[in-house]
């Protein structure tokens, strides 16, 4: 298994030293001395960190985590995975695709129901945006979304796709989600919600891509536009209206499709936000996101990735 470039040591000499240490640790694990090996990994981690050998510490913890995962030692593997994050948090390591891919790899190997996995992904996302308070790097969200999709955890996958820039991947996941878990009468609602949420995040490009890909690939949707389902026609017109930015068009569109928009009470809330973002509608004087929207949008809509 090839290692990400950014996890390799900066010099052949250092690499040789790490390899010798790893050989001894691997032998200990292979003998079943998991506890002793785990403690030795931690000892070496703190030694390397005290010497500011961040690259060596990161590589050793990453490979150690993979080794423990291969022996189904979830607790030890998760602990070393957390130490990988600790190195990243305490060093000046730049956010690069190779590192994001290594973090997604560790995430994919963790027990799906473990609290450590939740803590890991939270810290990884925070690090990926420099601790800025934003909701995570789009590339990391995309990698997490794909992993969760493979696990058929469609709801969580959808959340991460929304914070990525992968509209096509999101659409393909939603087609599978709709076909396996949804009712035939709701095929239009799966994509409508995604488009509206992408627009609320000011991601107009992904909103367009998810709509076109979903309607093209879903086996229960006849080729359009126009579509058999009124809600799909509304979304199609809405995307065109967003490009034009004319408030009158947006207002008439919402009025004409009221029956379809009443199918989900969240639609009106999303459209209120979209009106503010793209058509110059002033914010409501009352609290912005009460009721159903409040629980979801405070985390999803107030930050744009």
Rounded to 5 degrees, φ, ψ at 264 are -140, 120
Tens digit of each residue's pLDDT (9 = 90 or more) over 114-137: 999 999 999 999 999 986 557 899
E-assigned strands of the chain?
none
Q: What is the pTM of this model?
A: 0.87
E-assigned strands of 90-205?
none
* Residues 251, 228: Cα–Cα separation, whole Å: 23
Q: State the average pLDDT over residues 240-245.
A: 95
Q: What per-residue confidence (pLDDT) applies to 21? A: 83
Model confidence at 305, in pLDDT bands (50, 70, 90)? very low
Tens digit of each residue's pLDDT (9 = 90 or more) over 173-227: 999 999 999 999 999 999 999 999 999 999 999 999 999 999 999 999 999 999 9
Domains identified in the chain and CATH numbers:
187-304 (1.25.40.10)
> Mean pLDDT in the chain?
90
Closest CA to 214 of 188, 196, 238: 188
Q: What per-residue confidence (pLDDT) applies to 132? A: 59
Peptide bond into 127 cis (omega under 30): no
Q: State the average pLDDT over residues 267-280.
A: 96
Model confidence at 239, in pLDDT bands (50, 70, 90)? very high
Joined tokens for residue 18: 């790490």
Model confidence at 284, in pLDDT bands (50, 70, 90)? confident
Percent share of the chain, pLDDT over 90: 83
Contact 110, 81 (CB under 8 A): yes
Q: Give the distance between the most distant pair of CA atoms in the chain.
A: 73
Angle subtended by helix axes 291-300 and 187-200, to nearest 10? 60
* Residues 268, 264: Cα–Cα separation, whole Å: 8
Per 3-state DSSP, the chain is made up of helix, strand and coil in percentages (nearest 5) of 70, 0, 30
Tens digit of each residue's pLDDT (9 = 90 or more) over 289-304: 444 444 445 545 444 3
Question: Is 2 or 249 the better-scoring residue by pLDDT?
Answer: 249
Signed CA dihedral, 217, 260, 200, 302: sign only:
negative
Closest CA to 238 of 216, 255, 218: 255
Q: State the average pLDDT over residues 90-94.
A: 91
Peptide bond into 225 cis (omega under 30): yes
Q: What per-residue confidence (pLDDT) applies to 301? A: 46
Percent share of the chain, pLDDT over 70: 87
Tens digit of each residue's pLDDT (9 = 90 or more) over 4-40: 544 544 455 556 667 788 899 999 999 999 999 999 9
pLDDT at 42 over 90: yes
How is residue 228 annotated by DSSP? S
* Residues 124, 214: Cα–Cα separation, whole Å: 30
């Amino acid at each position: 298994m090839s290692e990400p470039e950014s996890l390799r040591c900066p010099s052949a000499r250092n690499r040789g030293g790490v390899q010798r240490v790893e050989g001894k640790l691997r032998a200990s694990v292979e003998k079943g001395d998991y506890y002793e090996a785990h403690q030795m990994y931690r000892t070496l981690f703190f030694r390397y960190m005290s010497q500011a050998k961040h690259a060596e510490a990161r590589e050793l913890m990453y490979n150690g985590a993979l080794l423990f995962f291969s022996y189904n030692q979830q607790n030890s593997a998760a602990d070393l995975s957390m130490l990988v994050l600790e190195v990243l948090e305490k060093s000046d390591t730049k956010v690069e695709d190779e590192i994001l891919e290594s973090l997604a790899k560790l995430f994919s190997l963790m027990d799906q129901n473990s609290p450590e996995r939740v803590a890991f992904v939270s810290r990884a996302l925070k690090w990926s945006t420099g601790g800025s308070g934003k909701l995570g790097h789009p590339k990391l969200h995309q990698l997490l979304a794909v992993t969760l999709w493979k696990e058929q955890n469609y709801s969580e996958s959808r959340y991460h796709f929304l914070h990525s820039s992968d509209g096509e991947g999101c659409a393909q996941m939603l087609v599978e989600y709709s076909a396996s878990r949804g009712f035939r009468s709701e095929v239009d609602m799966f994509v409508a919600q995604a488009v509206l949420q992408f627009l609320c995040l000011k991601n107009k490009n992904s909103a367009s891509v998810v709509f076109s890909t979903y309607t093209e690939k879903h086996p229960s949707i006849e080729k359009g536009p126009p579509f058999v389902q009124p809600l799909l026609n509304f979304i199609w017109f809405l995307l065109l209206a967003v490009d034009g930015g004319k408030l009158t068009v947006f207002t008439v569109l919402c009025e004409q499709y009221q029956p379809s928009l009443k199918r989900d009470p969240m639609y009106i809330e999303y459209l209120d936000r979209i009106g503010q973002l793209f058509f110059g509608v002033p914010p409501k004087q009352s609290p912005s996101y009460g009721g159903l929207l409040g629980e979801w949008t405070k985390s999803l809509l107030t930050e744009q990735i």
